[in-house]
Chains A and B, each alone.
Chain A
Amino acid sequence: MGMEDCQQLKPKKIKATWVIVKDFLRNHGLEKLHIDSYNNFINVEMPKILEANKRVTSDADNSWFLEYESIRIGAPQVDDGLGQTHMTTPNECRLRNLTYSAPILVNMRYMQNSSVQRKTDVMIGRMPVMLRSQLCTLSGRSDEELVRSKECPLDPGGYFIARGTEKVVLMQEQMMKNRTVCEFNTKKELTCFVVSFSHDHKTRTTVAKKHGCYYVRFSMFKEDISVLVIFAAMGIHYLDMALGWIGREHSTLEKFTLSVDEFLCLNISKKEEALLYLAARLKTGITSWGGYKRPKTAEVTQILLGSFLSHVPVKNGNFDDKAAFLSYMIRRCILVEKDPKMLDDRDHFGVKRLQLAGNILSLVFEDVIKSLNTELKTRADKHLKARARTSQFDPTAHIRQDKVTHGFNYFLDTGNLNIRRFKVNRVGVAQVLVRLSYVSAVGMMSRLQSQFEKSRKVSGPRSIQASQYGIVCPSDTPEGEGCGLTKNLALMCDLTEESPEDQVRKLLTCVTTKAAHEVCTTPWTYPPGEVYTVFVNGSIFGYTKDALESAKLVRQARRIGKIDKFISAAVSDLHRTVTFSTDGGRMTRPYFVVEHGQLPIEQKHVDAVRDNLVGFDDLVQVGFIEYLDVNELNDSLIALDESELTPDTTHMEIAPFSILGVVAGTIPFPHHNQSPRNTYQCAMGKQAIGAIATNQTNRIDTVLQVSWNPQRPLVQSKSFGITSFDQLPAGQNAIVAMMSYTSYDIEDALILNKASLERGYQRATVYRKLQTSVKANSAGEKETLFPARVNPMTGLVYPQEEKLDTDGMIGVGYNVEKGDILVNKYVPVGAQQTTDLTVQSPGSVMSRPLVVDKPDPLRFQEVNPCHVDKIMISQFEREQLIKVRTSQTRIPEIGDKFSSRHGQKGVCGLIVPEEDMPFTMDGIRPDVIMNPHGIPSRMTVGLLRELMGSKAGALLGKVFDGSAFGEDRLEEMMKILEDNGYDKSGKEIMIDGVTGKILEAYIFIGPFFYQRLKHMVIDKIHARAKGPRQTLTRQPTEGRAHDGGLRMGEMERDCMIAHGVSSLLNERLMLASDECEVLVCDQCGLFTWKEECSSCRKPGSVSTVRMPYACKLLFQELISMNIAPRMTVTHPSE
């Protein structure tokens, strides 16, 4: 088909554009963000950091030096102790509790014997390797190869393995650097501040308005400084220049006159005077770098040159750019006063940047390499200072590899990013990858953490922002304290990589922009509404009258591929700015380009993508698709579909369903549901039991819940298939009747068919890990395993050891109960520590005769019996690691939790024999009966639609599409039902299985996807009559794990009081808890323990008092603090 044919088809209709999403996710999926970031760190950031810290010199010997020349990372390997290394795979690391890491190798030269020595591939430490990154052994492997190395081909990668646990470094949401924010601070002052980042400084400069004047607030000055003093100190004359940048229009000048008056009162006319003024206000203790003293004025100049607005460079001592930036900040303050709309929104996503694993690791690496160098320096100093050098100083022997390794490992193990050097202290950055289901693992890769404190009750950062459109999933956020702070990226969100801003700068010279110094001196100054300030990455590039022109220029260049695809241009008419960004970590999203109300892309291109002839990146290359970041998004007109195209339209959505994230993408018909229901489902979908990964049988997780018969849903959204959830599903299609039955289904309870359960509906296995290690103590005495012992008295094997094999470990396949020994380990104790508890080791003949060992077995502690499924033994250094995997079959029972895909959860209320179940005219008995009362108030229309779609789909043998905003039509489903002789409403006549009579209502019935959630009664059921008590208070312990009591709390107590049952109250609170008897002296009212009072020593009557032990404890603690709680004792008989 030629071009002519295509154009004849008007209006042209582009269909199935979702294949582009599919292709996009293949190369840019959310987990790829992590991987790309890590690769970027390895390839770009790490050499850069090394370059910046390449040289180590010594104060003791000026000729000595050490210089790193290059850096590379080797292949992932494991040091098995004893100096042996071998290549490793992620699976080995997971099983053997190792860290998946690779050696960091540097080439270096250094001075030795007054000649330069070279050494290549010196290991300076180990770097954790991200799975599926370029360093990983899995990268570039085919699916079959992955299976051979016991990996799941569907696993997203993008996480680390630290000591056998999978750790994800969550994306961190941060404020953009170098951007001015104009707002009212907590003291209700109007301020405009900027946090400037340069390579060595991070400073905050604030312009604040106080009683009509403008001041600069800067951490190095003791007090607020009038802005004009700063200008004067910079050598900028305010009348000639500063006012040119601030603006000479009347309304602006008016606001500024007070500041000018104040400045004139200060009597500062020369630069030197201003510097002196500032020097007097310098904070004490601020000494400049270099160590030697300077005059204070020089100090001030240095501050102004360097840390003050440090992101604006000063060329040849020319302060123009800095002054212009300061002026811009003042102008912002002035404008906000006139128009509150000009206030900045901190929560706007255009000012947010994301920090990924690579960025965070580069922070760690920089810190670690700096410490390494300091360490080397001090060692060199010490060594070279020594008068009599015994040997030549060999720096390679002094490289602390463990420090580097530990730096990374500490971060991954604890998840805490704690770098004093950069004043970073964050917790929970690296988190354990949740493997409850495949959805939860993939969902975690797209998680976004915000810097706000979770406990703060603020609504601003929590509520959804219009600027998050297409970037953040509107549904997927937790409930409760993390609500709105923990977010998830939308399906098509991509992150920018940093590109050189010279590309933009060069282009902009083509447009008439004027630099700062040109603006203030020429009459071409702020005529209101004419001139736009041009920003490139937060600093002022110049001023222009052709804002649109300059933006268009950059956009065109980007579209034809002349400059980086991620460079953005945004014009703000409100702020009169043109913003160009080239920095990394911006959130972008691809859109179809629209030109003159027409889509340049055609159906044949989409088809080519579908047929894998063309990729997403090719479409970007030729300019059919382009990336818009949040700022540019605000400056665009985007059509949702072709019917909305107008001549002004700039872009069109590729597939509207991609505004949702991966987890929300699993919901069918989400746009028919009440919004919070989708949010609930996002939280619940992660708890559904299904298939975790295709290598789940090889894994030994702490807890692993696996469904026996996971099924693909009959109604799926497009993103469900795109994200491979259909290959590792979590749930089963059940025939659901929506009716009220037996009243055991009130309050969201479900009724299950007994026969369905017997046929295997929602059956699951729970695997658990128990582990122990067999090691040697420092004296070299080894822990040992022994087989079962025979009780010499009875001649029988001790019952708890019955199931042990001859190797001292439990046999695979045994059913184990509480108290059974899984690994019969004995710990050696020195002869002097021998106590009565120790046992003569049964195997004394086998290894070391006459050694006394203490038993330290690994016992099975669960209440519910399990089967031993697998035992793994691994050797690491001198330690033996033993992992035991137990399995337990879980048939659904009353009290287990289930959920639909629409936030409709419920527990099983009754299991009904099949013959009692109602049946349809076809003889179909439902698997699940769901109460319809849950529907009207929750408004989950998507649920009803899913049932219709499933029913029609089952009749046709087809999976129906339930994608958001572009689903299969309901009319279509109804037609199918009607054609097959069913009522098109989905309702049917049913007959009661108990009476055999027709039920007097039409029942909405059909297949429906149900999930079983991980919460099961058997894990929670708990009761106690008597049991353990706490030692301190003698009150019953708390919680199921400690066989604790059930607390009768304050509110329950209130009920008792209201009911007037004082004896019951007494029994619950004292008798059943911590009653104790104490002796109290009648005279002094203090405790005693004998007939004669121990405190007042007066012989007299002593009474026995019953009180809670906690009360007695309190009194004693008070007494220990010299407070005497005296009890007045009266005897009822008196």
Chain B
Amino acid sequence: MTNTKRKETKSALDPFHEEMVVDLQPENTLEDLENFVKTISVEVHDITDEGMTMEFDLIGVMASVANAIRRALLVEVPSMAPETILLQQNKSVMADEVLGHRLGLIPFKADARKYKFRPPGSKNDHPDYAVLFDLIAEAPKQNLKTDKKYISTTVYSSQFKWIRHPDAHPPAMNDSSIRPVSDKILVNILRPSQEMHLRIHVVKGIGKDHIKFSPVSLASYRQLPWIKLKRPVDNEDADRLKGMFSPGVVEIDEDKNGSRQARIANARLDSRSQNVFRDPYLKNVVEMGLTKEHFIFSVESIGALNVAALVKEASAILRDRCEYHFLSIGTRDAHP
């Protein structure tokens, strides 16, 4: 009995089963491929936070393609982050290495496309490779014997001062928009008479090397959920049903008679919880699943570039890689 029950549950939701969309077999013609590409579509769904957050749908590709874009966004699109520090003075309680690590994780607003990767062994502060920032913070002196309370001084990222490099000639080097992503990042807290004096080199890098170079805080996708009600659900059942889904998924309509009926308002918002299948009645009413080859991407940029640019960069990286592999296959064919 339990067996059949389990089967039932599984068939009712079965989010795991996935079918291949297009059979990309070697014998496929170019035409097939072109037709396939035509079926792919991207729908931008939501852009917020001045383009720094975006939700878009990628429809008509396999999971591996969506995943490739996600992975590229996460660790392959370059961004700028502090890499080296010239530490002149650190009198705070925070140890030098802790401070260094903390500074390294502060995101900076600088367009990585305008810089080159700093080759190993090159000059640390060359304007092609690095943006320089100074941080000089001093806590006011206090009479530690007579004053009852110590006054703490907080150091924020707003105190970073961009140092224009004297040799900088490209216009990008004079871009005054170069600054920390946020002015409200707490760097350190100083006691009276303590001070910090340091210079950081913000350089270009990729997330594979260190996660501080990752241009996104969130890059993930999920498949579009669908929910169907096999029969109408009303009144108390409707309330219960509403509570079992993410907020906004189920709405309740009230007709003239005062009877209320549940309606799937927006299945997209659902988080695919199984709560409904624990209800002895509702589990037989609801049918749900995930739409194949429909991926909802959520990307949040750290703040240097907007998401659209990042996705473009990621796609370019993928395209370059495909080209590289295509070429290497081609060469092998040429010289068997």
A759 partner, pick from B15, B71, B105, beta carbons under 8 A:
B105
Contact A996 B63 (CB under 8 A): yes
B333 proximal to A (CB < 8 A): no
Q: How far is the CA of A998 from the CA of B62 in the complex (A)?
A: 12
CA of A889 to CA of B105, assembled, Å: 17
Q: How far is the CB of B180 from chain A (nearest CB, A)?
A: 17
- Closest beta carbon of chain A to B335's beta carbon, Å: 33
In the bound complex, do residue B274 and residue A755 qualify as a contact, i.e. CB atoms below 8 Å apart? Answer: no
Known contacts A984-B275, A985-B274, A996-B70; A979 and B243 CB within 8 A of each other: yes
The minimal Cβ–Cβ distance linking A607 to chain B, given in whole angstroms, is 31
CB distance from A965 to the nearest CB of B (A): 28
- Which residues of chain B from 228 to 254 have a CB within 8 Å of any chain A CB? 243-247, 249
Is A765 an interface residue, CB under 8 A from the partner? yes
Which residues in B have their C-beta under 8 angstroms from that of A919? 220
B93 contacts the other chain (CB 8 A)? yes
Q: What is the CA–CA distance of A981 and B273 in the complex, to the nearest angstrom?
A: 7
* A983 at interface, CB cutoff 8 A: yes
Of the stretches B211-219, B257-265, B322-330, the one at the interface is B211-219
Interchain CB contact under 8 A, B97 and A889: yes
Chain A residues within an 8 Å CB radius of B74: 914-915
Interface residues of A in 771-826 (CB under 8 A from B): 813
Determine the chain A residues whose CB is within 8 A of the CB of B157 once the complex forms. Answer: none
B91 interface hit (Cβ, 8 Å): no
B211 pairs with A996, CB closer than 8 A: no
Asked if A755 meets B211 with Cβ closer than 8 Å, knowing A921-B222, A983-B274, the reply is yes
Chain B residues whose C-beta falls within 8 Å of the C-beta of A920 in the assembled complex: 220
Chain B minimum-CB-distance residue to A979: B243
Given A765-B97, A998-B18, verify A993-B67 contact (CB < 8 Å).
Answer: yes
- Asked if B126 lies at the interface with its beta carbon under 8 angstroms from chain A, I say no
Q: Are A697 and B71 in contact (CB under 8 A)?
A: no
Flag if B16 contacts A983 (CB, 8 Å).
no
Report the bound CA distance from A889 to B96 in whole Å.
11
Instruction: Give the CA-CA distance A987 to B212 in the complex, in Å.
Output: 30
Contact flags A987-1026 to B (C-beta < 8 A → 1, else 0): 1110101111111101000000000000000000000000
- A978 interface residue (CB < 8 Å to B): yes
B1 at interface, CB cutoff 8 A: no
Interface residues of A in 108-134 (CB under 8 A from B): none
Are A998 and B219 touching (Cβ within 8 A)? Answer: no
Q: A754-B211, A922-B220, A978-B244 are in contact. Are A763 and B63 (CB under 8 A)?
A: no
Check if B214 sits within 8 Å of A755, measured CB to CB. yes
Q: A708-B98, A981-B246, A981-B247 known; A996 and B15 CB under 8 Å? A: no
Q: Does A140 make an interface contact (CB < 8 A)?
A: no
- For residue B97, which residue of chain A has the nearest CB? A889
Report yes or no: B274 in contact with A987, Cβ–Cβ below 8 A. Answer: yes
**Given A759-B211, A913-B75: A995 and B271 interface contact (C-beta under 8 Å):** no
Given contact pairs A914-B74, A923-B298, A984-B273, A996 touches B212 in the complex (Cβ within 8 A) = no
Which residues of the partner chain B approach A226 to less than 8 Å between Cβ atoms?
none
Which chain A residues (898-927) contact chain B, with CB distance < 8 Å?
913-915, 919-923
Interface residues in A739-768 by Cβ distance below 8 A to B read 754-755, 758-760, 763, 765
Cα–Cα distance between A981 and B270 once the two chains are bound (Å): 7
Which residues A848-869 have CB closer than 8 A to chain B? 867, 869
Contacts of B214 in A (CB 8 A): 755, 914
Cβ-based interface call for A249 (8 A): no
Is A687 part of the binding interface, using a Cβ–Cβ cutoff of 8 Å?
no
Judged by DSSP, the binding face of B is mixed
Do the beta carbons of B212 and A995 come within 8 Å of each other?
A: no
| Cβ–Cβ contact B272 & A921, under 8 A | yes
Which residues 912-948 of A have a CB within 8 angstroms of B?
913-915, 919-923
Interface set, chain A 945-1003, CB cutoff 8 A to B: 978-985, 987-989, 991, 993-1000, 1002
Nearest Cβ in chain B — how far from A1082, in angstroms? 69
A913 smallest CB distance to B (angstroms)? 7
In the bound complex, what is the Cα–Cα distance between A604 and B327 (angstroms)?
82
Q: Are B149 and A144 in touch, CB under 8 angstroms?
A: yes
Enumerate A94-120 residues with CB–CB distance to B below 8 Å. Answer: none
- In the complex, what residues of A have CB within 8 A of residue B16's CB? 998-1000
Report whether B68 and A982 are in contact in the complex, using a CB–CB cutoff of 8 Å. Answer: no
Q: Given the known inter-chain contacts A144-B149, A758-B211, A922-B220, please indicate yes or no for A993 contacting B71, CB distance below 8 A.
A: yes
B273 touches A982 (CB 8 A): yes
Scoring A residues 585 to 623 as 1 if CB is less than 8 Å from chain B, else 0, what string do you get?
A: 000000000000000000000000000000000000000
Is the beta-carbon distance between A981 and B245 smaller than 8 angstroms? yes
Task: Looking at the assembled complex, report how far the CB atom of B25 sits from the nearest CB atom of chain A, in whole angstroms.
Answer: 20
* Contact of A758 with B212 in the complex, beta carbons under 8 Å: yes
A983 to B18, CA, bound (A): 22
Q: Is the CB of A983 within 8 A of B70?
A: no
Cβ-based interface call for A259 (8 A): no
Tell me, in angstroms, the Cα distance from A887 to B97 when the chains sit together. 10
Task: Establish whether residues B101 and A760, one from each chain, have CB atoms under 8 Å apart when the complex forms.
Answer: yes
CB neighbours (8 Å) of B66 from chain A are: 996
Given the complex of chains A and B, what is the CA–CA distance between A148 and B149 in angstroms?
Answer: 11
Q: What residues on B are CB-neighbors of A980 within 8 Å?
A: 246
Interface assignment of B5: CB less than 8 Å from any CB of chain A:
no
State how many angstroms separate the Cβ of A767 from the closest Cβ of chain B. 10
Q: Mark B10-42, 1 if CB is under 8 A from A, else 0.
A: 000001101000000000000000000000000
User: Bound complex: CA of A369 vs CA of B278, how far in Å?
Assistant: 78
* CB of B148 closer than 8 Å to a CB of A: yes
State whether A914 touches B211 (Cβ < 8 A).
yes
Expressed in whole angstroms, the Cα–Cα distance for A148 and B208 within the complex equals 46
Measured in the bound complex, the distance between the Cα atoms of B240 and A979 in whole Å is 11
> What chain A residues lie within 8 Å of B149 (beta carbons)?
144
| CB of A79 to closest CB in B, whole Å | 27
Given contacts A765-B95, A996-B63, contact A978 B273 (CB under 8 A): yes
- Distance in Å from the Cβ of A927 to the closest Cβ of chain B? 12
Interface flag for B141 (CB, 8 Å):
no
The answer to whether A923 and B218 have CB atoms under 8 Å apart is yes
Q: Which residues of A contact B306 (CB under 8 A)?
A: none
Of the candidates A887, A985, A991, the one whose C-beta lies within 8 Å of that of B222 is A991
**Cα-based distance from A999 to B17 in the complex (angstroms):** 10
* Residues of chain A in range 17-40 having any CB-CB distance to chain B below 8 Å: none
Question: Could you tell me the distance in whole angstroms from the C-beta of A926 to the nearest C-beta in chain B?
Answer: 13
Q: Is A983 a contact partner of B97 (Cβ separation < 8 A)?
A: no
CA distance A881 to B249 in the complex (A): 72
User: Does B301 sit within 8 A of A, measured CB to CB?
Assistant: no
Partner of B15, one of A763, A813, A978, A998: A998
Say if the beta carbon of B64 comes within 8 Å of chain A: yes
Task: Report yes or no: B148 in contact with A144, Cβ–Cβ below 8 A.
Answer: yes
Contact indicator B208/A913 (Cβ below 8 Å): yes
Task: With both chains docked as a complex, state the minimum distance between the C-beta of B101 and any C-beta of chain A, in angstroms.
Answer: 6
Let me know if B79 is at the binding interface, CB within 8 A. no
Give the interface centre of A755, A758, A980, A1002 by most chain B CB atoms within 10 Å: A758
Within 8 A of A (CB), among B271-306: 271-275, 278, 290, 298
CB distance from B191 to the nearest CB of A (A): 11
Contact A981 B243 (CB under 8 A): no
Interface flags, B31-71, vs A, CB<8A=1, else 0: 00000000000000000000000000000001111111011
Kindly report which residue of chain A lies nearest to residue B65, judged by CB atoms: A996
- Chain A residue at smallest Cβ distance from B244: A978
Instruction: Indicate if B197 sits at the interface (CB-CB under 8 A).
Output: no
- Bound complex: CA of A921 vs CA of B102, how far in Å? 29
Q: Name which residue of chain A comes closest to B272, CB basis.
A: A989
**Please, which residue of chain A has its CB at the minimum distance from the CB of B213?**
A758
Most buried by A among B15, B210, B214, B273: B273
Residues of A within 8 A of B (CB): 144, 148, 697, 708, 754-755, 758-760, 763, 765, 813, 867, 869, 887, 889, 913-915, 919-923, 978-985, 987-989, 991, 993-1000, 1002
- 11 residue pairs of the A-B complex, CB under 8 angstroms, read A144-B149, A869-B95, A913-B208, A923-B219, A983-B271, A987-B274, A994-B67, A996-B64, A996-B66, A996-B68, A998-B16
Given A914-B75, A915-B71, A995-B63: 6 more A-B contacts, CB < 8 Å: A915-B208, A920-B220, A981-B270, A981-B273, A983-B275, A998-B15
Which 3 pairs across A and B sit closest by C-beta, in order of nearness?
A996-B67, A923-B220, A981-B246
